[in-house]
Amino acid sequence: MDWLDSIKWDSDGLVPVIAQEAGSGDVLMFAWMNREALSRTAELGQAVYWSRSRRRLWHKGEESGHFQQVHELRLDCDADVVLMKVTQLGHDPGIACHTGRHSCFYSRLEGTAAARQWTAVEPVLEDPERIYKK
């Protein structure tokens, strides 16, 4: 049996993927992969995702230069989520988010029950206008 057949793909042929920084343990981002993306990730040693908005494979860093070097791929106990341990390349500290931040999880829920709001608590490390070519 092919190793990709062990994965429980959703009805669209996708599996959710969590990118975790190998050194710090920070969760950098969440994305999706199809069979081809996961196969190419394993071959290249760099993250290749399926972009649902673009409807195509997306080699992380193809525009920004912020590639993800993959050290380890793990499958959860239900075989329906992939965890990748990565080193975020291209900037120090690494930028995984298209907003120019280290992690896509930069907003924290703050306030009291009557006035809760999401607040950005992580800095922009580089202006996205400079990162992405128009």
In sequence order, what DSSP letters do the residues of 33-84 get, joined into one string? E-HHHHHHHHHHSB-EEEETTTTEEEETTTTTS--EEEEEEEE-TTS--EEE
Give the separation between CA 124 and CA 120, rounded to whole angstroms: 10
Q: Give the fold, CATH level 3, of 3-131.
A: Ubiquitin-like (UB roll) (3.10.20)
Instruction: Give CA 51 to chain center in angstroms.
Output: 11
Return per-residue pLDDT of the chain as tens, 134 residues.
799 999 999 999 999 999 999 999 999 999 999 999 999 999 999 999 999 999 999 999 999 999 999 999 999 999 999 999 999 998 888 999 999 999 999 999 999 999 999 999 999 999 999 887 65
Domain boundaries, the chain: 3-131
- Asked if 72 contacts 85 with a C-beta cutoff of 8 angstroms, the reply is yes
pTM across the whole model: 0.91
